[in-house]
Amino acid sequence: MHRRAFLGSVSAALAQVAGKLPANKNVKWAVSLGLWSHFRKAPLTDIFDVMRDTGFPGMRVTGFKGFLKAYGMQPAEVEREASKRGVQIVTISFGGPAYDAAQTKQILQDAKEAMEFLKIFGANHLVVFPPGRRPPQPNWDAEFATMCQTFNRIGELAGTMGFRAGLHNHLDEMVETPEEVHKCMAMTDPKLFHFFPDTAHLHLGGSKVPEMFAKYKDRIQFMDYKDAKWTTPARDVALDNGRVHARDSKQARFFESIYDLGDGEIDFAACHRVLKEKSYKGWICVDLDTARKGPRNSYERSGGYITRKLEPIYA
């Protein structure tokens, strides 16, 4: 996608500024940097411009620490350019081989470094991804228990640094199915480790999303609102960055199954009623893995859904 297409036309930008943007009151709205990895590279400042213009002032960084090198910026420069536009880094996607007790010390060191980076931006959440799924292991239960123990250690460290850490469930990772979500929640300390659910991955993994929100509402401190419905690709999925996924591949089916807010099957109104019930005050990341007409268009459409359908329930 050319820079002009990426940013959108001047007239479109002015029209959006003139329109109603997400309120960012009790609920504050963020995006994930991960979406832009599927498009031809643009300056990080251009991404900040899109965030500002569409009413999504927060960013979840992916690829820490590599993203700094990828965009050729130092943390202080990122903070300066974000502040100019009234946007900020609010968390990162953090992960590691938490099932391996021999690597716990390194994981904790990496988590500390990640949170020290986030402190620069005034952030206080660490989104923790489970390790990727592997072929069935005879010691799966033991590894799952070790993972949960490591999560508690991360949560304990986070607390000493003024942070909250929590589980980000994900397809093809060790916490994917409803049973695995429940098991992880049962085996982690609610005082140490929280729940940062991803709605699309819950839904595609077989969970009933509003029920998960209701069951663990006291542990929800951050979340991703991402719409989804399983969709079979009609053709190969060609990404703007040049990568092509064969239509019969798992990756193609996943990309085809992610939608702008309101275009999939997830009952976000029910989720939002849970947030209202608990008087939630915090971030929601509208994390898109695909944007069929570009990031700006998808975030404008998702922002419109927020203002029309969700803010009347709870802003």
**100-138 pLDDT per residue, tens:** 999 999 999 999 999 999 999 999 999 999 999 988 878
State mean pLDDT over 200-218.
Answer: 98
Measuring CA to CA, which residue among 136, 147, 223, 130 is closest to residue 187? 147
pLDDT at 2: 53
pLDDT at 138: 84
State mean pLDDT over 206-220.
Answer: 98
pLDDT at 9: 41
- Cβ count near 139 (within 10 Å): 10
- pTM attached to this predicted model: 0.92
Asked if the model's pLDDT at residue 17 lies above 50, the reply is no
Give dist(CA 256, CA 154) in Å, integer: 34
Give dist(CA 178, CA 254) in Å, integer: 18
What is the band of 7 on the pLDDT scale with cuts at 50, 70, 90?
Answer: very low
Asked if the model's pLDDT at residue 265 lies above 50, the reply is yes
Measuring CA to CA, which residue among 122, 127, 164 is closest to residue 32? 127
Residue 305's contacts (CB-CB under 8 Å, 6 or more residues apart) are 260, 261, 262
Measuring CA to CA, which residue among 41, 46, 38, 132 is closest to residue 87? 46
* Mean per-residue pLDDT over the chain, rounded: 94
pLDDT at 5: 47
Provide the residue type at 262 as one letter.
G
State mean pLDDT over 242-264.
Answer: 97
pLDDT at 135: 81
pLDDT digits (tens, 9 = 90+) for 58-98: 999 999 989 999 999 999 999 999 999 999 999 999 999 99
State mean pLDDT over 8-12.
Answer: 44
pLDDT at 3: 52
Percent of the chain with pLDDT over 90: 92
Q: What are residue 220's DSSP bridge partners?
A: 195
pLDDT at 15: 46
pLDDT at 19: 57
Pairing of strands 237-238, 244-245: antiparallel
* 21-310, CATH topology level: TIM Barrel (3.20.20)
Residue 80's contacts (CB-CB under 8 Å, 6 or more residues apart) are none
Measuring CA to CA, which residue among 9, 158, 154, 15 is closest to residue 95? 154
Give dist(CA 226, CA 300) in Å, integer: 14
What is the band of 16 on the pLDDT scale with cuts at 50, 70, 90?
Answer: very low
